[in-house]
């Protein structure tokens, strides 16, 4: 197997980067990594939505940090003009399936109109050369078949979250084709999901729910133990976003959509993930449901990642067992008094060493 492409400190050093969603789980990890690479990062996001939050615990060093709703088009334009970014990494989103059922209008406004607001502001910033807009692995019309989804498959979405992200893909493609490509701005969408890693305290996420249950000795209730997903450590897609941005800088013809995730045959069911997690954590009681409770969620999802492998040289580094184990050990170490920033930096350093 060829070594996987990795982010280049030589490339990122001194680059002006706009990172939306910098206070979220993925955004906090990415802020720390960009800091390590020497980028000058301006963050735009809502204030952290959980307590504790990874952003508050790690305090990434940013050139500027703005707590701002991306649905406010006028303010977004002002902030983006002031940041004058060369590269934009758009992660800000309402990123949870079950809350999207509770607030569909807010979900669509953030994920669709918010994305349009950012892209519209970028069209007027001469310095911006690259945009990587993050959507999700759930943008595809899920037919519950056994085949992994390719970038050319139909978009869709049963729940408001998935549908809003599929709609965001149409917005991204429209702005790229109508304005941004002609202006010399390379815009790509990145489709990844089911990320795990230390520092996520969002509701209705499998491993955070496990930690919340097992830490005080409670029983974890799992609704859909047989649901299959393409699980991956958070550093896998973040590395892919950075590599994609670098490649777009040098080759704008790559401005398309890309799937990022484990090999399609490595998608794993919830039950398997929980059993690995329980072993790594050292304890934990589980009660498995029959898959019928709660609103609709897909039972099967896998991505075909050949395009990223062939065109970008990106391949996964940490297999499922290591990704899950590292996640649970992160939470356990934090509970025992370790420093969150140090834990993240250690994982980033270890990830960078992998081929």
Distance in angstroms (rounded) separating the CA atoms of residues 328 and 346: 15
Residue 293 — pLDDT band, cuts 50, 70, 90? low
Tokens standing for residue 4:
């996987």
Is residue 287 very low, low, confident or very high in pLDDT (cuts 50, 70, 90)? very high
Look at residue 346 and tell me whether its pLDDT is greater than 60.
yes
Q: What is the pLDDT of residues 186-212, one digit of tens each?
A: 999 999 989 999 999 998 899 999 999
Model confidence at 296, pLDDT cuts 50, 70, 90, reads: low
**Given this model, what pLDDT does residue 266 score?**
86
Q: What is the mean pLDDT of residues 1-29?
A: 93
Decide if 14 contacts 39 (C-beta within 8 A): yes
Residue 291 has pLDDT above 80, yes or no: no
Judged by phi (left if over 0) then psi (alpha if -120 to 50, else beta), residue 291 lies in left
pLDDT in tens, 116-172: 999 999 999 999 999 999 999 999 999 888 889 999 999 999 999 999 999 999 999
According to the model, what pLDDT value does residue 298 have?
67
Residues of the chain with pLDDT > 70, as a percent, come to 97
28, 348 contact by CB (below 8 A): no
- Decide if pLDDT at 313 tops 70: yes
The pLDDT value given to residue 164: 98
* Tokens encoding 63: 């050139």
Distance of CA 33 to the CA centre of its chain: 14
Mean pLDDT of the chain: 95
Averaged pLDDT for residues 288-293: 78
Burial status of residue 234 (CB atoms within 10 A of its CB: 0-12, 13-18, 19 or more):
buried
3-state secondary structure of 189: strand
Q: Is there a contact between 94 and 198 (Cβ–Cβ < 8 Å)?
A: no
What's the average model confidence in pLDDT over 214-242?
A: 95
SS3 112: helix
Pair 236, 317: CB distance under 8 Å = yes
Give the pLDDT confidence score for residue 355 in this predicted structure: 64
What pLDDT score does 267 carry? 86
Structure confidence at residue 193 (pLDDT)? 86
pLDDT of residue 78: 98
pLDDT given at position 327: 98
Rg (CA), the chain: 19
In 219-319, the DSSP E strands lie at 219-222, 228-229, 232-233, 257-259, 268-269, 285-288
pLDDT per residue as tens digits for the range 47-85: 999 999 999 999 999 999 999 999 999 999 999 999 999
Model confidence band, residue 113 (pLDDT cutoffs 50, 70, 90)? very high
Query: Domains of the chain by range and CATH?
Result: 13-193+234-262+299-318 (3.40.50.720)
């Amino acid at each position: 197997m060829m070594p996987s492409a990795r982010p280049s400190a030589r490339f990122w050093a001194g680059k002006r980067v706009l990172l939306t969603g910098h206070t979220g789980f993925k955004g906090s990890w990415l802020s720390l990594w960009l800091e390590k690479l020497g980028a000058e990062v301006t963050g735009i996001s809502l204030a952290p939505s959980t307590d504790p939050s990874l952003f508050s615990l790690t305090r990434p060093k940013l050139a500027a940090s703005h707590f701002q709703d991306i649905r406010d088009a006028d303010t977004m334009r002002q902030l983006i003009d002031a940041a004058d970014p060369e590269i934009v990494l758009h992660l800000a989103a309402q990123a949870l399936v079950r809350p999207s059922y509770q607030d569909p209008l807010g979900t669509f406004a953030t994920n669709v109109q918010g994305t349009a607001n950012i892209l519209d502001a970028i069209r007027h910033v001469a310095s911006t050369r690259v945009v990587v807009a993050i959507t999700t692995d759930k943008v595809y019309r899920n037919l519950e078949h056994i085949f992994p989804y390719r970038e050319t498959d139909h978009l869709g979405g049963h729940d408001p979250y998935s549908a809003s992200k599929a709609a965001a893909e149409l917005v991204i493609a429209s702005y790229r084709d109508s304005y941004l490509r002609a202006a010399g701005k390379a815009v790509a969408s990145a489709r990844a999901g089911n990320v795990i890693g230390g520092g996520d305290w969002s509701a209705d996420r499998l491993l955070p729910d496990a930690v919340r249950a097992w830490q005080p000795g409670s029983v974890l209730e799992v609704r859909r133990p047989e649901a299959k997903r393409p699980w991956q450590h958070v550093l896998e897609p973040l590395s892919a976003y950075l590599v994609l941005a670098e490649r777009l800088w040098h080759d704008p013809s790559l401005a398309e959509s890309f799937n990022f995730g484990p090999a399609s045959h490595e998608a794993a069911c919830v039950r398997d993930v929980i059993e690995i997690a329980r072993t790594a954590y050292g304890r934990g009681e589980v009660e498995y449901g029959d898959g019928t409770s709660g609103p609709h969620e897909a039972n099967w999802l896998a991505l075909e990642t050949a395009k990223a492998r062939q065109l970008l040289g990106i391949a996964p580094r940490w297999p499922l067992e290591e990704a899950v184990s590292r996640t649970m050990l992160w939470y356990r170490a934090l509970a025992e008094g370790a420093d969150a920033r140090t834990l993240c930096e250690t994982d980033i350093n270890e990830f960078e060493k992998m081929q």
